[in-house]
Amino acid sequence: MRVRKTFRFALGALTRHGLRTGLSLLGVTIGVAAVIVLTALTDGARSYVVEQFSSLGTNLVVVLPGRTETTGFPGVPSIPNDLTIADAEAIALLPAVKRAAPVAMGTETVSFGERSRQVAIIGTTADYALARQVEIARGEFLPRGDADRGAPVCVLGHVAARELFPGENPVGRVVRVGGWRMRVLGVLSRQGTKIGLNLDETIYVPVATGMQMLNRSSLFRILVEAQAYADLATARESIRRLVTERHGEEDVTVITQDAVLSTFSAILNTLTIVLAAIAAISLTVAGIGIMNVMLVSVSERTREIGLLRAVGVHRSQVMAVFLAEAALLSAAGALLGLLAGYLLVRLMVGLFPALPAAPPPWAVAAAFGMAVLVGVVFGLLPARRATRLDPVAALAGR
């Protein structure tokens, strides 16, 4: 029996039992669709995180007040020293550091005339725009000067400017931020949402002004740009030593973009393995379903198998027929699963446009290959049972 005839014979046997075939297809379809959707989600999440952190700037080191590590016995919790503007100025003088921008952060109400809204306030310096690669649409960013002397000026985010001054140029106008009257120096280009913060709805003020306005004694963080990518490790270590020397203890956390991305990547890799295991279990269950269907098929087609053997069809050819049925079942289910998976991914992208979800090519190939392999492996037992039937007994229906 030739290969084409073998598959044609197997296809005919499958189409004669449409309901049973459909139920077998369903298990494989769900398993493959799960692989496509889950790998698309994890790959999309990885791309999203990388894009978000890359958009913050390059060669960045972030200094946070307080230690995140846990060591020893609980003891009495220590209160970290304030992270100050003077700390930021000292960090900026380190050889491996290109610039350092102190950051204070909070929320306030901004108003102009009858219009007002709640916005995020970022107190910082001119170096922030350079480190973050912020683009100015109108006017200018915060001026350079003594960071300890705050001026009553501000820079508006794109949406904040549009809603407070619809159709107008806000540069030079005076707005009220909390209890402060502030002159608008500039408007930022559209920035979007980065790491959960909508920068278009943010207002930037000088860091000293921000700390007074928000009643802060400590900075939220210090944003540091290293001289080059190769200097990141040196900058991180020199910052840690400097602040420890200034504070008398190591009471800050110094992190780099690479460290954050590595942590996220490790988490997502673990999640990918877990999800792949779940999908593999789903495909295994589908394979067991195929095996059960094929065993029933062998029982129902005993006379047919006996007739094939009586007319000279070899045992290996009988096995090939049943393996072809299993392969066709699993391949058809895999194709339907790929289609269903792609449709679900497109639906998710439509619902969450910010998530660049797309199944990686390796996942598509692996899902299809695994589905067919599972089908063939679980089809071996029914195929072997079919080959072991005695032709005479099979013709008699026994």
Residue in the structure block whose two tokens are 């692996």:
366
Query: Which among 197, 195, 355 has a CA at the least distance from the CA of 260?
Result: 195
The per-residue pLDDT for 207 is 92
User: pLDDT of 302-319, one tens digit each?
Assistant: 666 666 655 556 666 667
| Per-chain mean pLDDT for the chain | 80
Task: Tell me how far apart the alpha carbons of residues 391 and 307 are, in angstroms, rounded to a whole number.
Answer: 7
Lowest-confidence region among 147-151, 180-184, 247-251: 147-151
Kindly calculate the radius of gyration of the chain based on its CA atoms and give it in whole angstroms: 33
* C-alpha of 259 from chain center: 16
Does the pLDDT of residue 77 top 50, yes or no?
no
What is the model's pLDDT at position 87? 92
The position carrying tokens 């960013």 is 141
Work out the percent of the chain whose per-residue pLDDT is above 90. Answer: 23
Report pLDDT for 91: 93
State the pLDDT at residue 76. Answer: 42
Q: How far apart are CA 183 and CA 154, in angstroms?
A: 6
Please give the residue that has the higher pLDDT: either 394 or 188. Answer: 188
Q: Residue 12 has what pLDDT?
A: 52
Q: Are 67 and 251 in contact (CB under 8 A)?
A: yes
Per residue in 154-210, pLDDT (tens digit) is 999 999 999 999 988 999 999 999 889 999 999 999 887 765 577 888 999 999 999
Q: How confident is the model at residue 121 (pLDDT cuts 50, 70, 90)?
A: very high
More confident: 283 or 300: 283
pLDDT digits over 330-360, tens only? 888 889 899 999 999 989 888 887 777 888 8
On whether the CB atoms of residues 251 and 82 are closer than 8 A, the answer is no
pLDDT at position 98:
92
pLDDT band for 13, please (50, 70, 90 cuts).
low
Report the greatest alpha carbon distance in the chain: 103
Mean local confidence (pLDDT), 262-281: 79
Residue ranges with strand state E in the chain: 60-65, 97-112, 115-124, 136-139, 153-156, 174-177, 180-188, 193-194, 197-198, 202-206, 221-226, 252-256
